[in-house]
Structure formats: structure tokens, C-alpha cells
Amino acid sequence: MPSLPFSDLRSTSSVPTPLRGPSTAPRNTSDGASQDHKASGGHAPVRAPLDLAAGLLIAAFGIGALWLGRDWPTGTLASVQSGFFPRMIGLLMVLAGALVTGRGLLTHGAAWPSWGWRPLIWVTAAVLAFAGTVETLGLVPAVLILVGLGNLAGQPLRPVPLLLLAGALATGCVALFVWGLGLPLRVWP
């Protein structure tokens, strides 16, 4: 039988992997309780902190949507009014957040990654520069500045691919926002 792509990823060997293995599995003691559980003072450890944080954030956005739409009329299923869809989206977000939070508490997952300051600083600077220059310089120069500063957030592109990307994004923005949607944006200074 031919091997399927990525079939080697489902290995049954006893070699520890980053997500499974002796380092992440609780160690049982003779009385049946795990040493990890005892070491944490009786509190169960968070097994997947990224899932836990994501679930809480999704649920918080859902609660915020429910709170913002609390005064809007929902109507009935036969006669839907303006508050129906925001309320349903908010409820679905709270439900999804609860499921992801539960997954973060019950299953093993990736550890919390180290914080990347460089991408945070450069992406924020790129967005602020775009917001500050789009009205004064025009859409095309603002997009070029956005792409140039955003390029500093990670592994920088070489000059030719960077210019091709910036040109394609600037052309796409002009085509979509100015020509397609008819927004009153200046294209050039």
C-alpha cells in the first residue's frame, strides 16, 4: 500500500514529541494522584495556556457584542429585526469561547510562546504611519510606507520582492477602494 503524505506524522513510537511524551504527561504516584497535581498545591495545571487565553478572549468579545446590542430589538424568527444577528453572533462567540477554554483546561497543548517585541513595535508603527499619512500623502504612498515598515517586523524581504509586493498591494488598494467602492480617497499627494 502506498504511503500517504504526512503519514509519518502519526508515529506510534515511544520517542517523546513536543506535545506528547513523558515531559507533558502527569506522573502518577502510588495513591493514584499525579505529582503535577500535588506540586501545584492541589490545583489542576493549565495544560494549554494558548487555548485558554484564546477562549477567554473570544468569550469576552461575545459578551461585549451582547452588551452592545442589549437595547436593539430582536424580533421573532418570522420577523427578524436589527438586534437579532448581533445577539446570535454574540451568543455563538460566547459558546465558542467556552469550548476553546474547556479545551485549554482539559487537553495538552502548546506552551505560552516568548513575546515578540519586534513584530509588535513595527506592525504598530506601520499601522499608525498609514493612518497618519493616508489623508495627507494619498493612498499609494501610505500603502508603500505601510509595507516598508511592516517588512521590518520579521525576516525582511529582498528589495525586488518587497517592491513587487508594495506595488501589487498599492494597485489592489486603489482598484478596490477608489475604483471599486468609490471611496473619496486621494491616490497621490
Q: Where are the domains of the chain?
A: 49-106, 117-180
Q: Please say if the pLDDT value at position 77 is more than 60.
A: yes
- How many CB atoms sit inside 10 A of residue 156's CB? 10
Position 32 scores a pLDDT of: 47
Task: Give the pTM.
Answer: 0.47
Beta partners for 43? none
Position 61 scores a pLDDT of: 94
**Residues 18-73: tens digit of each pLDDT:** 444 444 445 544 444 444 444 445 555 777 888 888 999 999 999 999 998 888 88
CA–CA gap between residue 47 and residue 25 (Å, rounded)? 10
Go through 20-46 and write b for each residue having 16 or more CB atoms within 10 A of its CB, e for each that does not.
eeeeeeeeeeeeeeeeebeeeeeeeee
